[in-house]
Amino acid sequence: MEPSISLFNASLDNGGASLAFRRHFDSLIQHAPSKYAFKAFTDNPNKSDLPFINPQTSDRAIRFKSFVHALNRRLYRYLLNPDPDRDFYPADGFLTQPSFSALQSSLLHLFWTQSYISPKAISRLSLPVVITLHDMWHFTGGCAYSLDCEQFYRGCRNCKYARRLFRPAISRSALIKQQLLQKDNVYFVATSYWIHKHLRTLGVDPTRLSKINNYIPPIYQKFLPRSDAQQLLGWSESNLHQYTFYFVGDIRSKRKGFDMIIKAITSMSPDERALFKIQILGTSPYKRIKEFDQLAVTYTCLGSLKDQLSQSLAYNSADMLICPSIFDNSPNIVAEAAMCGLPTICFERTGAAEMVQQLITGIVIPKSPDLLAGVMLDCARKRHILNSETITAYASSRYSYSVTTAKYCSLYDRILMS
């Protein structure tokens, strides 16, 4: 009987971890050697075509579980740490414990488990476990992103960002997670050298630590002239001459850095602002951005493009992706854009900066709205476009099957044969 490998992701929304999970599973089914039986499960069955991890669970129990998850994310998360920019997820409280033993797998591969599975449940497993880290949650007291804080190196003791009553619970969570880092049957995959460095500093055995990029499917490619793609997205003829900057993400999140774009554009003159337009994915097409309206900026909000072909079309329609995140891991959007031949502007000392080759696949600058304004105007005036074929070739060498999913298969082989 062939060994089975079970992949698990708690949430199947459009977040980066969920996309990486689904793409990894699909690429395994399409391309991986047939010596393993691959299965994928979720613990949140809403709008999912994947099986629920506990198949015997009734529909009523599933609905109750979803309610508990929502309560855990909103109420308990707020009680512990009210700072939304740190993306805080508790490690205990109302968490459920999926029955992984029922899967009868040779190996379990976990992607995103925040607010669904307690690290204690993972530590009790005897089978080999691979955990792909898409943020910092697996080694902090609860923050997915600690921003400027490095207190997790000291076990998150007396967390200054948490309510005083819950500081011992946060420290306890950090201790449990960092004990999990030392377990011999648990292997970790970092998708950025930034996360990899943190894990090495925390003492993770290098034989249980790998650096593997997220897989980007070939549907992300350059396939249409820019003006044709813009017309398909609804831009009028009168705007096609303007240089197009593209932003993807939540415009309300300070961590995503949209306010840096607003500050950069505010410093420009009306004639300078007329050189370009802004295209935004992730915000309702009915949303008005007050600052842009006041500054007479040409912009459009595309809403949420659910299918990958539409997302690829949006990349084809732009001249430059702006990824002004002030703190991130390895944003899929930078890799997707590069596969489509689209360069990126990003800030240094971020996960995005790792993914950009300076002046070849994009432009990396210090975190400054004034510098961002200068680079935007330079691009819009000179219309210098970095070679899209070079960008795509570079992206293919980093995000295609042979350098992503195939590396996971080699990791599975090494673990199961040891």
Helix (H) or strand (E) holding 28: helix 16-31
> Could you give the 3-state DSSP secondary structure of residue 40?
strand
Distance CA 13, CA 292 (A): 29
Distance CA 144, CA 81 (A): 12
Tens digits of pLDDT across the chain (418 residues): 689 999 988 776 668 898 999 999 999 999 998 899 999 887 665 555 666 555 555 556 656 666 666 666 666 566 665 566 677 776 654 455 566 766 789 999 999 888 677 888 888 889 999 999 999 999 998 888 998 899 999 999 988 888 888 888 889 889 999 999 999 999 999 999 999 999 999 999 999 999 999 999 999 999 999 999 999 999 999 999 999 999 999 999 889 999 999 999 999 999 999 999 999 999 999 899 999 999 999 999 999 998 999 999 999 999 999 999 999 999 999 999 999 999 999 999 999 999 999 999 999 999 999 999 999 999 999 987 799 999 999 999 999 999 999 999 999 999 999 8
Q: In what order do the strands lie in the sheet with 320-323?
A: 298-301, 276-281, 243-248, 320-323, 344-347, 362-365
Residues 6+ apart with CB under 8 A from 125: 100, 108, 185
Contact 327, 192 (CB under 8 A): no
Tell me the H-state helices in 166-301. Answer: 167-180, 193-201, 226-232, 258-266, 270-273, 290-295
Q: Structural domains in the chain?
A: 4-215+400-417 (3.40.50.2000), 226-398 (3.40.50.2000)
Residues 6+ apart with CB under 8 A from 65: 43, 57, 96
Question: What is the value of pTM for the model shown?
Answer: 0.93
Residues 6+ apart with CB under 8 A from 249: 256, 258, 281, 282, 325, 333
Q: Which two tokens stand for residue 267?
A: 């410093």
Strand 276-281 vs strand 243-248: parallel, antiparallel, or unpaired? parallel
Distance CA 57, CA 53 (A): 9
Q: How far apart are the two ends of the chain, measured CA to CA in Å?
A: 18
Amino acid type, 37: A
Contact 394, 343 (CB under 8 A): no
